[in-house]
Amino acid sequence: MTRAFARLAFTDSVKETQRRNGARANGERLENHPAARDALTPELIRYIEERDSFFMATSSREGWPYVQHRGGPPGFLHVLDERALAFVDFSGNRQYLSVGNLAENDRVHLFLMDWAHARRLKIWGRAEVAEDPELIAKLMPEGYDAKAERVIRIHVEAWDMNCNQHITPRFSERELKPGLDALARRIALLEARLREAGIALPYELAGASPSPAPAEFA
């Protein structure tokens, strides 16, 4: 949370609110921080490439915000370089609110969540909409079953990663699967050893059906 972020986010109204709430000194410290944080670091690039979704905010001409969820395979949000991102805009409910807003106001704000580790990356940028078949083909995730309509390129103006308070950890199936698979293998191995020892399993005594075991133990 340093200079580039403060330059964009700390408007006069925000500064006055900080002053009233005793937080202005911290705001000034961020505004004068030697690090600009207007370019993506290698650590952030890895973080972005691991995400399978993000939220993108745009605004209408009248100033009304619109937040849209974007999802796809991990890495569908491509890092072109330390200041540029791009993703294929898949066909959705076809209201075109984000694309329509970007035609009048190119400012965007991205939230990239890592629910499992209670982390979030915020990115301020300017977006460009491109209907470029060649670029779509280059950025389209391989084997992903979705209709591509356009590409949205984002020039990164600033970023911030902070404040893990109040983020409830959540885990995707992809994140849980290795641990669950390992547990299933362990259970199957223990069941096999009990049977070898002639010990009936609880569900066998009750007449219930066991859960399917992994193929290597079936």
> 212 falls in which pLDDT band (50, 70, 90)?
low
For residue 207, name the pLDDT band (cuts at 50, 70, 90).
Answer: low
**Over 90: is that where the pLDDT of 106 sits?**
yes
Does the pLDDT at position 162 exceed 70? yes
Distance (Å, whole) CA 33 – CA 177: 42
Q: Among 36-45, 119-128, 151-160, which stretch is predicted with the lowest mean pLDDT?
A: 36-45
- pLDDT per residue as tens digits for the range 39-81: 999 999 999 999 999 999 999 999 999 999 999 999 999 999 9
Give the pLDDT confidence score for residue 86 in this predicted structure.
97
Region 177-181: mean pLDDT is: 92
Q: What average pLDDT does this structure show over 122-130?
A: 95
- Domains of the chain (ranges, CATH numbers): 1-37 (no CATH), 38-161 (2.30.110.10), 173-217 (no CATH)
Residue 217 has pLDDT above 60, yes or no: no
For residues 208 and 215, give the distance between their C-alpha atoms in angstroms, rounded to a whole number: 20
The token pair at 83 is 């200041």
Cα Dmax for the chain:
77
**pLDDT > 80? residue 214:** no
Q: For residues 64 and 187, give the distance between their C-alpha atoms in angstroms, rounded to a whole number.
A: 54
The angle subtended at Cα 26 by Cα 20 and Cα 28, nearest 5°, is: 90
Average pLDDT, the chain: 89
Q: Is the pLDDT of residue 30 over 90?
A: no
Say if residue 36's pLDDT is above 80: no
